[in-house]
Structure 1
Amino acid sequence: MLRSKEIITAAGALVCAVGIGFVMQKSETAQMHYGKNIDEIPASEMPVLEGAGAKNALLDVQEITLTSAEFDNGIALPDTDAEIMTVAAPASVLAEPEMPSAGPNPACEITASARPVAAAMVELSMDAACMPNERITIHHNGMIFTETTSASGTINLKIPALAEESVFIIAFPNGDGAVVQTTVEELEDYDRAVLQWKGNTGFQIHAREFGAEYGSEGHIWEEKPGDIAAAVSGEQGVLTRHGDTRAPEPLLAEVYSFPKATNGRGGNIALSVETEVTEANCGLEIEAQSLEMQPDGKIKTQNLTLAVPDCDAKGSFLVLNNLLQDLKVAGK
């Protein structure tokens, strides 16, 4: 359940071109704190951590690295007359695990297609009967995640577009794959932010629309993601998650989309990234990457390396306030 465990706020030491805030806080004070801006809470209201069992403390999270750069995937668009081609997998921003491979299979026929659908999404389909239950990697304009083909070697996915001329690369571990392209004219009607990571690190995007508090109607996150129909009508944003969590060391992504063209309200959408301290990540160094669409159509990326607190802090949440830029929405 939301906020059934601790939520901790902490200040982080960075090596970066932009600032980032960390929050760790106890559930008993969550209602008080999330009812107002975290940055406005005086330091005097934050108790000092004393001993391993201390709660509701301002912690100093060290060894955080955050860099900012403009993304260029270096992938040329395929010719419009060659919508499908065999390709080798490009290098990933988040390193993939070494997977067993039988090598290229020249007899394997792979067909794929892409078409635009509602909310500036793309329906991506592939048929590779010779590749049942096989790991695949999807690449799109900097976003990358892993999926698994069905028992008949097919996939059918809906993926948020990150470019009007959208190119999708589907890559198998043995080097086989396909490239498809489609035009998404509605993309300019949406603001979009992506968070991607590797493995069971517990990362989540939280969007609080127009002053919404945690757990209220305008709080969009994994357990209350909204829906495509509401996004199309302009009622609220929608969160989609991509990647097969059952695959070994999966690459996963979350995408928050807001319908700026059909929305009638004006104001701010607060975006934050959170991860729970669990048995799977406590005491480890974890990595993530954010991708944010800019007004000129380019993608801004930031790479995060974070040292998670030791296992004494299990059940707490790390809240990254500034990894994703808040959205400013102009009312009609």
Structure 2
Amino acid sequence: MLRSKIITAVGTLACAVGIGFVMQSSETARVHYGDKSDRIPAAEAPVLEGAGAKNAMLDVQEITLTSAEYEAGIALPATDAEVTTVATPPSELSEPEIPDGVVIPACDIVAQALPVAAAMVNLTLDAPCMPNERVTVHHNGMIFTETTTSDGALNLRIPALSRQAVFILAFANGDGAVAQTIVEELENFDRAVLQWKGNTGFQIHAREFGADYGSEGHIWEGAPGSVADAITGTHGMITRHGDTNAAEPLLAEVYSFPKGQNSRQGSISLSVETEVTAANCGLEVEAQSLEIRPGGQVRTQNLTLAVPDCEATGSFLVLNNLLQDLKLAGM
């Protein structure tokens, strides 16, 4: 028999407000996300009474948000001004002698940005003296970390968030490069960004024009859509950015909808969701949303969330009002 339970947990959303979690059964969660009941083992600790079944859905309502800067959690990289600063060695240190026959390669760092289909930008980096190095990418408020190849290169495809798109690539030692381009096609797209630090399990879920979870038109990491869909106006698409294998990575996820190619009327429901896992249970996690508004302005909101204890591992938190739904009038 399908049963549901309601419990109350203590959560922190921005300014330490209490939130209620509506928990649905594991069968409902399978409808939403597919059968993943064995993906993450449950904690061996006793199950909290009333915590509900594994793979439950937690529905979080009445979120209070703030635009205050992060005080903890995500440690944002240096400002743009600091990115270009290179430390100068003390004057009393002499230059090391280079043995005969040893050639020191030039370490020019070059970045290039080119607009491509679906208001995306192909961003490349050539830094031959920076192999396998962590590099932070900045673009109009979006921040994520990548790792260069063994040749010191990067080749990324990034959704543009501004018509005059500027990208800053910064290494930990202060070296870096800047690339810019014009993305004329951006006016034909609506975009929403979610970014966070670490593997916290955050996801954007877009349900287009009344689509149910798991059906066509439910766009998320498990069904991200494609550039072809975005070009033709069939569906939106999800892209994820950042190296998840790096230490404490900065990650970002972007939902793009081709409003310029859309002929349908209606709305797109946007939610932020995260699974309670062994990696995040009992922790306080932070995220930030960015939404492009008419006129190119970016709307920013910060989120601080206390994840339930590990007894709730396998459940999902659904945050329904961190991102605004998209209203489309058609063509």
Bucket of the pairwise TM-score, normalised by the shorter protein: 0.7 to 0.9
How far apart are 1:50 and its partner, in Å?
7.9
- In structure 1, the gaps of 5 or more residues are 1-5, 35-48, 77-85, 90-104
Which of the pair has more CA radius of gyration?
A: 2
Give TM-score scaled by structure 1 length: 0.77
How far apart are 1:113 and its partner, in Å?
0.5
- Letter of the 2:326 counterpart: L
Query: What is the aligned counterpart of 1:87 among 76, 84, 87?
Result: 84
Any conservation in 2 of the 1:24–1:319 contact (CA below 8 Å)? no
Any conservation in 2 of the 1:15–1:67 contact (CA below 8 Å)? yes
**SS state of the match for residue 281, structure 2?**
coil
Any conservation in 1 of the 2:23–2:59 contact (CA below 8 Å)? no
Any conservation in 1 of the 2:12–2:305 contact (CA below 8 Å)? no
Per-residue Cα deviation, 1:70-95 (whole angstroms, up to 9, x for no partner): 9xx9869xxxxxxxxx8249xxxxxx
Corresponding residue for 2:95?
none
Corresponding residue for 2:264?
265
**SS state of the match for residue 216, structure 1?**
coil
Per-residue Cα deviation, 1:234-257 (whole angstroms, up to 9, x for no partner): 111010000000001100000000
The change in CA–CA distance for 1:184 and 1:326 in structure 2 (over 3 A counts) is same
- Letter of the 2:252 counterpart: A
The change in CA–CA distance for 1:13 and 1:246 in structure 2 (over 3 A counts) is closer
**SS state of the match for residue 175, structure 1?**
coil
Write out aligned runs for 1:56-205 (5 A): 66-68=65-67, 87-88=84-85, 108-205=107-204
Structure 1 segments of 4 or more deviating over 3 A?
6-16, 20-24, 29-34, 52-62, 73-76
Distance 2:240 2:25 in 1: 27
Distance 2:143 2:5 in 1: 29
Identity rate of aligned residues, in percent? Answer: 70
The change in CA–CA distance for 1:238 and 1:61 in structure 2 (over 3 A counts) is closer
**SS state of the match for residue 261, structure 2?**
coil
Corresponding residue for 1:92?
none
Any conservation in 2 of the 1:205–1:221 contact (CA below 8 Å)? yes
Distance 2:269 2:275 in 1: 19
**SS state of the match for residue 119, structure 1?**
helix
Per-residue Cα deviation, 1:111-141 (whole angstroms, up to 9, x for no partner): 1100110010110001011111111000000
Any conservation in 1 of the 2:120–2:159 contact (CA below 8 Å)? yes
Distance 1:66 1:123 in 2: 34
Length, aligned pairs only: 285
Distance 2:122 2:20 in 1: 36
How far apart are 1:61 and its partner, in Å?
7.6
- In structure 2, the gaps of 5 or more residues are 34-46, 70-77, 87-103
The change in CA–CA distance for 1:169 and 1:241 in structure 2 (over 3 A counts) is same
Corresponding residue for 1:254?
253
Per-residue Cα deviation, 1:193-228 (whole angstroms, up to 9, x for no partner): 000000010000000000000000100000110000
Distance 2:241 2:190 in 1: 18
- Letter of the 2:309 counterpart: D
Distance 1:168 1:318 in 2: 33
Distance 2:23 2:284 in 1: 17
The change in CA–CA distance for 1:136 and 1:315 in structure 2 (over 3 A counts) is same
Corresponding residue for 2:276?
277
Per-residue Cα deviation, 1:127-184 (whole angstroms, up to 9, x for no partner): 0111111110000000000001011110010100000001000000110000111010
